[in-house]
Amino acid sequence: MTVLEHSEMNSSETVPRGRAWIELNLNALRHNTEYLQSLLPRRCALMPVVKANAYGHGAGPITRELNAMGIQAFCVACVSEGIELRRRNITGEILVLGYTHPDQFPLLDKYALTQTAVDHAHALALSAYACSVSRSNLPPLPVHIAVDTGMHRLGEPAENISRIREIFSLPGLRITGMYTHLAASGGSDAASRNFTERQINSFYNIKKNLGNILPSYTRLHLQASYGILRYPLADVDCARPGIALYGLLSNADDTHALAAGLYPVLSLRARVAAVHRLAPGESAGYDMAYTATRPTVIATVTIGYADGLPRILSHGKGELLLCGQRVPIVGRICMDQLLADVTALPTVHPGATATLIGEDGGVSISAAELADACGTITNELLSCLGLRLERLAL
């Protein structure tokens, strides 16, 4: 086992597991990548979305593995995430999906990042920068144009065809891509399908309208994870899978229905630090929020909300695995620790490994189950996993 993240530790150094850590199943990552690719037409390339530290998994180990598999394009949310990948020597195109302020445009050059023009005005600003004297001997700035086909988040409105056309002729820019984002591709109901098909057709229409203005090097893309699974045959050049690459979808129902071919990449584990025996009437944790009603054994586990484990899982709402069994989280989850009722497990001892997400002795807790219990989606749960968790590749 190798520690792949956590400061600048040498990746060949083997390190024992600490207080709380993430295990990455890179076989699952490779499988998911190949599986998603197999659903798409052969010419459609994956541009994995590795924003938010690769959905909490660790952008370093995830992108290094994908690069080794031959993936040569990535999507991030912001310039700082792109810089982080370049500092890790990740090669290929790195597309910044979000807005970048003109003050940061020089970083696009410095770190060879591709910026999204979030609308016509942003494209003008990018062009003005690209033509400034300070970068006069640099090649054109690579840009993908975002087109708004109905989500109304980012993108030049699809109906402004003349403005979209104009962006292609702006000096200093090389339009290496044009894309839209589907707002309802996760829904299986008729309204969602109709909305999505209107978005896709609206995007195709732009392509038709541009005709031979569209350079052959401009790659078109529109699907994220749900789009790949529900609309795999869209006529585009790339796709942008995020959550599916990590082996799940946003909730447990969708994961069961749509993600049968995918395997979870991440497990989340922590140590038992101490075991306490409580008599009836004794309480444990903050605010006496938990009081034993029978002779009870409580284990202190070394993970808390500062590691990204939502505090809403307190008071028995969440469970964890110890010795291949589910036990409830009791009392209030603390910043760095939590308490579990292990009365049913006589052999639990300090140093034992607890599993918050993943499998132990044939029993498992999925990230989707945990996200459902928190009233959120896997995307949020995973992307909030903290930086002090070690990332270990298996």
Ligand X SMILES: *Cc1c(COP(=O)(O)O)cnc(C)c1O
**Interacting residues with ligand X (CB under 6 A):** 49, 51, 97, 181, 224-225, 240-244, 379
Q: Look at the block and give the residue holding tokens 């899978």.
A: 241
Question: To the nearest whole angstrom, how small is the minimum distance from the Cβ of residue 150 to ligand X?
Answer: 14
Question: To the nearest whole angstrom, how small is the minimum distance from the Cβ of residue 284 to ligand X?
Answer: 38
Taking the C-alpha atoms of residue 360 and residue 272, their distance in angstroms, rounded to an integer, is 15
**CB 13, CB 51: distance < 8 Å:** no
Q: What DSSP state is assigned to residue 119?
A: S
Shorter beta-carbon distance to ligand X: residue 225 or 267: 225
Q: Which two tokens stand for residue 266?
A: 């991440």
Three-state SS at 14:
coil
Question: To the nearest whole angstrom, how small is the minimum distance from the Cβ of residue 240 to ligand X?
Answer: 4
**Residue 318: CB atoms within 10 Å:** 23
Shorter beta-carbon distance to ligand X: residue 119 or 390: 119
Question: To the nearest whole angstrom, how small is the minimum distance from the Cβ of residue 76 to ligand X?
Answer: 10
Residues 6+ apart with CB under 8 A from 114: 93, 94, 95, 96, 108, 142, 143, 144, 176, 177
User: What is the H or E stretch that residue 300 is in?
Assistant: strand 296-301
Phi-psi sector, 287: left (phi>0), alpha (psi -120 to 50), beta: left
Shorter beta-carbon distance to ligand X: residue 127 or 379: 379
Any idea which residues carry the catalytic annotation? 51, 286
Q: Look at the block and give the residue holding tokens 């529109």.
A: 222
Shorter beta-carbon distance to ligand X: residue 244 or 342: 244
Q: Side chain identity at 121, as an amino acid letter?
A: A
Question: To the nearest whole angstrom, how small is the minimum distance from the Cβ of residue 123 to ligand X?
Answer: 17
Which residue in 215, 240, 300, 229 sits closest to 262, CA to CA? 229
Q: Side chain identity at 257, as an amino acid letter?
A: A
Shorter beta-carbon distance to ligand X: residue 82 or 304: 82
